[in-house]
Amino acid sequence: MPNRSTDPLFQLIKSLEKSEKRNFKLYATRNTASDDLKIIQLFDALDKMDTYDEGILLKKNESIKKQQLSNLKAHLYKQLLSSLRLITDESNIDIQLHEQMDYARILYNKGLYLQSLKVLDKLKEQAKVKNQFTYLQQALFFEKNIEALHITRSIQNRADQLSKEADEVNDTLSLVSQLSNLALQLYSWYINHGHARNEQEANEVENFFVQKLGDKAGKCKSFFEKLFLYQSYCWNAFIRQDFLQYYRYTQKWVNIFEEEPYMIAIESGHYIKGMHNLMGSHFDLANHQKLKETLDKFDLFCDSDIVKSSINNSIQCFVYRTISVFNKHFLEGSFSEGIELIPEIEAKLKEYEIYLDRHRILVFYYKIACLYFGSGNYEKAIDYLNKIINWKMDLRSDLQCYSRLLHLIAHYELGNEKILDHLIKSVYRFMAKMQTLSVVEEEIFKFLRNSFHLSVRTIKPELEKLLLKLKHHQNNRFETRAFIYLDIISWIESKLENIPVQEVLKKKFSNKRNYS
């Protein structure tokens, strides 16, 4: 994937739909009959560019001087946002409440205090119903100012009532802030480190979680309090690879939206993320039926107006739906069928490239590489793994490690003896340096280091020994990540049975369905 431009103005223009571009030009030329405004010229020039290049921009638009460019870009950026604000969906609760607050201030500035208070009462009621406590806090602060500065005689015992309301809102916001901090810190730990690699790391995460959570769980009553509480439990369990608890709290996360369905439109991002984690928990627990049911439900949501009316929701739904579709193919062993989706997925990646963060792109590359590996196309798997290995970054060290390990095994499958010794040493050094070498990985390395020199007759007993050793560690939660990122047991079984990996997984999937 090419480097994405980080110029904010260019990114904003490229995100616009045709109707939004048309609206901007009408807005920008509202006070003039000339279409030669410099910001319009700059807009058109940037709109035609595939990637941002300031040198080419100035060369093709000589009327725009370099010393003017910075101010012109800032002015154009502001004008674009103003034009978008005029056509923004008025059903958005944030915009509705912000508008009510503006009306209240306008009325106050006109000296119409009682009318201003009536608007604030309406705002407060709407904010309470929709769980918008930050707006409720602002309304209460403004209301207290009016009562303190003017004799309104609006209601008896107003001071006590307002003080009580303000204290309750402040307590709620304080608890929400503490829980959201905890959820964010745990999620950040995972993004930077992946899963806990040993008992020490798991204990460190658990102790941090328990210390920060304290007695807050019993105080959670409002929507956002429960949302961030469940997210905190979710990330804590996921990092420690307690996948049963991870499932329980992702289900609670989704359930609170189903209990208050109007919140799905208000906090779509959190709902989408919750569904993603719920589907991920079903994959981690190898619960194919639950994954399929939840994916079908998510598909219906992806076709809703809530998603179609928002580019952000559309992108997130594409990302998380695709990952779950990949995971479904992994559980079924239908790698070849999954490969058929790759051209369409890559087209979407290209379409959304200015929006997608590096972490998501890496996950896609690894999933695609696994599809190719499982189908027996090791060359294509290596191509995608190289994209990860050669991408210099500091995120997801676990993905970097397992990409190198899968890359090594793919070369082993291809019989690339000349580079195998070098790769084994290189990958071993990398993983040892990252302090991520597990017992399972040690066993894999021992086998790979010795087996290339074994004959066909003698390699089978060695594979059988390796299989027994790995199965012994299969239920160790700190070795789980090795089996999630790379189903090494199915690979060994495929070598013993002399059939493709996907055939082994299809047999397992079929047997599991027949048994259930």
Place of tokens 């989408």: 272
Instruction: Confirm if 44 and 89 have CB atoms less than 8 A apart.
Output: no
Indicate the burial class of 44 (C-beta count within 10 angstroms; 0-12, 13-18, 19 or more). middle
SS3 486: coil
Which amino acid is present at 156?
Answer: Q
Overall residue count recorded for the chain in this entry? 516
What's the confidence (pLDDT) of residue 35?
46
CA distances from 16 to 5, 30, 107, 150, 280 (A): 16, 20, 35, 47, 32
How far, in Å, CA of 511 to CA of 513, rounded? 5
What's the confidence (pLDDT) of residue 3?
43
SS3 87: coil
Structure-block tokens of residue 241:
């690879």
What's the confidence (pLDDT) of residue 364?
92
Would you give the end-to-end CA distance of the chain in angstroms? 43
SS3 376: coil
Structure-block tokens of residue 286:
């190898």
Identify which of 203, 200, 196, 227 has the alpha carbon closest to the alpha carbon of residue 398. Answer: 196
The residues of the chain scoring below 70 in pLDDT are 1-5, 31-36, 88-91, 151-156, 392-397, 434-437, 452-457, 481-482, 485, 512-516
What's the confidence (pLDDT) of residue 512?
65
pTM: 0.81
What's the confidence (pLDDT) of residue 393?
59
Structure-block tokens of residue 177:
């802030």
Structure-block tokens of residue 212:
């920060």
Other beta carbons within 10 angstroms of residue 412's beta carbon come to 18
Structure-block tokens of residue 366:
């690894």
**393 — phi, psi (to 5°)?**
-160, 170
What's the confidence (pLDDT) of residue 152?
62
Identify which of 277, 259, 264 has the alpha carbon closest to the alpha carbon of residue 221. Answer: 259
Other beta carbons within 10 angstroms of residue 475's beta carbon come to 9
Other beta carbons within 10 angstroms of residue 269's beta carbon come to 11
How far, in Å, CA of 362 to CA of 358, rounded? 6
Q: Is the dihedral of CA 344, 300, 361, 323 positive or negative?
A: negative
Place of tokens 């049975």: 497
Identify which of 246, 241, 234 has the alpha carbon closest to the alpha carbon of residue 198. Answer: 241
Other beta carbons within 10 angstroms of residue 163's beta carbon come to 12
pLDDT digits over 355-409, tens only? 888 878 888 999 999 999 988 899 999 999 999 988 865 555 677 888 888 898 8
CB contact set of 159 (below 8 Å; sequence gap of 6+):
147
What's the confidence (pLDDT) of residue 59?
86
SS3 377: coil
